């Protein structure tokens, strides 16, 4: 089945007379068997999860082509992977990963738990070397917020040391745009808060482990039980519901993003547009080689710098001035105002392109740029 069909077909009850959707099951506790009964299959939600959580895991597992594990947020999913590493491990991350992943890596380093190597997303040889020398290699592609695309095909096919885990944060892409497990990654992570949920009304995260790596799946399953990053039943339900329209939202969002990126690139009020779908993007060739589309997030820098960028993002009326991304509604913000993100250019605006009519979005961008430069 194509992922776009599985998004609609997957994770549904199969029994005769069953509802088409697994309902939210708000349970922490389950009845235990008596001495003569078969052993319990479900005891406590933090251990075995609810049916709603399992529906989500089956759905996202099928989308990415592996075994899904659901978490209370993207960071809970990432932390589960990092915290399972033995003391003294080595981690490779991008030069500018999502800032909370950077904080996760750096905090552990400061505590002496592991070493951290930074690798430029475009440095394919650097990633290939890391796969032979590090315990966890964490590639984020496309990267937040600079939209660099790693050469995932080459990286995933490269030799790696026994036991090295190659993880891909695929949040910006979704399984409709790229499927790292099919290329050879060990585990994919999504902040399902973003495109998978798709409506800015929940927090969720998922890990999807390669089908042949049952050991890693079991380690992460056991770790989640200890760390307690279990997803709530209502959030699992909402994430499943969001995923049903993921193919439609991704198609529209990516199409809108391409049009707007091209127009912004031609606009004299804008100095630089970063979007993997533009031939001028430094890692466009990587994107073309394995991404099915180019995603629905772009970044651009305005002519005047930070103050003008602030004027632009505050002036919009269709696009929401808000921090998160991946919703059906467009959002944008200046990223350098986030603590720890001072390396990001001051005038950079990250723009999550939603499913509104593209001409309404363009009029809003035009008016907002005029508020600063008109
Ligand atoms: C690329 C990326 N990874 C991880 C996360 C963390 O996800 P969450 O906010 O669901 O914990 C985010 C959140 O913005 C993200 O953009």
338: pLDDT strictly greater than 90:
no
Do 340 and 239 share a domain, yes or no? no
**Tens of pLDDT along 132-175?**
999 999 999 999 899 999 999 999 999 999 999 999 999 999 99
Which ligand 1 atom is nearest residue 325's CA? 14
Do 81 and 195 share a domain, yes or no? yes
Residue listed under structure tokens 């592991």: 114
Do 17 and 35 share a domain, yes or no? yes
> With a 6 A CB cut-off, is 170 part of the ligand 1 pocket?
no
* Residue of 174, 193, 242 best suited for mutating to test ligand 1, as the one with most atoms within 8 Å of CB: 193
Q: Last residue of a domain, which of 188, 221, 243?
A: 243
From the list 57, 80, 51, the residue with the least C-alpha distance to 233 is 51
Q: Last residue of a domain, which of 243, 270, 303?
A: 243
CATH, residue 136? 3.40.640.10
Q: Are 46 and 228 in contact (CB under 8 A)?
A: yes
Q: By alpha-carbon position, which residue is closest to atom 10 of ligand 1?
A: 74
Answer whether the bond into residue 145 is a cis peptide, omega within 30°: yes
Do 33 and 72 share a domain, yes or no? yes
The answer to whether the Cα torsion of 175, 178, 179, 180 is positive or negative is negative
Give the pLDDT of residue 339. 84
Predicted structure pTM score: 0.97
State in Å, rounded, how far the first CA of the chain is from the last one.
Answer: 50
> With a 6 A CB cut-off, is 174 part of the ligand 1 pocket?
no
Cite the beta strand spans of 215-319 per DSSP E: 270-274, 297-302
Number of domains in the chain: 2
Do 231 and 253 share a domain, yes or no? no
Interval between CA 72 and ligand 1 midpoint (Å): 12
Do 136 and 82 share a domain, yes or no? yes
Provide the β-strand partners of residue 272. Answer: 301
Do 70 and 145 share a domain, yes or no? yes
**Tens of pLDDT along 282-305?**
999 999 999 999 999 999 999 999
CATH, residue 267? 3.90.1150.10
Q: Are 177 and 147 in contact (CB under 8 A)?
A: no
Cite the beta strand spans of the chain per DSSP E: 67-71, 89-94, 114-119, 136-140, 165-169, 187-191, 205-209, 270-274, 297-302, 320-321, 331-334, 348-352
Q: Last residue of a domain, which of 194, 221, 243?
A: 243
d(CA 342, CA 44): 43
Confidence of residue 68 (pLDDT cuts 50, 70, 90): very high
Q: By alpha-carbon position, which residue is closest to atom 6 of ligand 1?
A: 74
């Amino acid at each position: 089945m194509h992922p776009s069909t599985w998004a609609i077909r997957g994770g549904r009850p199969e029994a005769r007379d069953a509802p088409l959707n697994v309902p939210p099951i708000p349970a922490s506790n389950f009845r235990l068997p008596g001495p003569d009964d078969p052993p319990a299959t479900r005891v406590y939600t933090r251990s075995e999860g609810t049916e709603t959580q399992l529906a989500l895991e089956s759905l996202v597992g099928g989308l990415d082509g592996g075994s899904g594990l659901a978490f209370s947020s993207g960071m809970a999913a990432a932390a589960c992977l990092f915290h399972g590493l033995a003391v003294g491990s080595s981690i490779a991350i991008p030069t500018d990963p999502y800032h909370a992943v950077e904080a996760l890596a750096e905090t552990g380093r400061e505590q002496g738990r592991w070493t951290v190597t930074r690798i430029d997303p475009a440095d394919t040889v650097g990633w290939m070397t890391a796969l032979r020398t590090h315990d966890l290699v964490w590639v984020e592609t496309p990267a937040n917020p600079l939209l660099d695309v790693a050469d995932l095909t080459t990286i995933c096919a490269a030799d790696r040391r026994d036991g090295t885990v190659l993880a891909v944060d695929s949040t910006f892409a979704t399984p409709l745009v790229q499927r790292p497990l099919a290329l050879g990654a060990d585990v994919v992570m999504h902040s399902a808060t973003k495109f998978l949920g798709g409506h800015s009304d929940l927090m969720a995260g998922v890990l999807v482990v390669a089908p042949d790596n049952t050991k890693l799946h079991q380690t992460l399953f056991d770790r989640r039980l200890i760390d307690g990053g279990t997803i709530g039943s209502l959030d699992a339900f909402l994430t499943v519901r969001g995923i049903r329209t993921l193919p439609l939202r991704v198609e529209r969002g990516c199409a809108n993003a391409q049009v707007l990126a091209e127009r912004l690139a031609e606009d004299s009020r804008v100095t630089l547009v970063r979007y993997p779908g533009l031939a001028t993007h430094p890692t466009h060739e990587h994107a073309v080689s394995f991404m099915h589309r180019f995603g629905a997030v772009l970044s651009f820098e305005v002519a005047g710098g930070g103050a003008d960028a602030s004027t632009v993002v505050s002036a919009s009326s269709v696009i929401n001035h808000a921090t998160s991304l991946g919703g059906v509604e467009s959002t944008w913000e200046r990223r350098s105002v986030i603590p720890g993100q001072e390396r990001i250019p001051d005038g950079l605006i990250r723009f999550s392109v939603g499913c509104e009519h593209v001409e309404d979005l363009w009029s809003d961008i035009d008016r907002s740029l005029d508020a600063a430069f008109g």
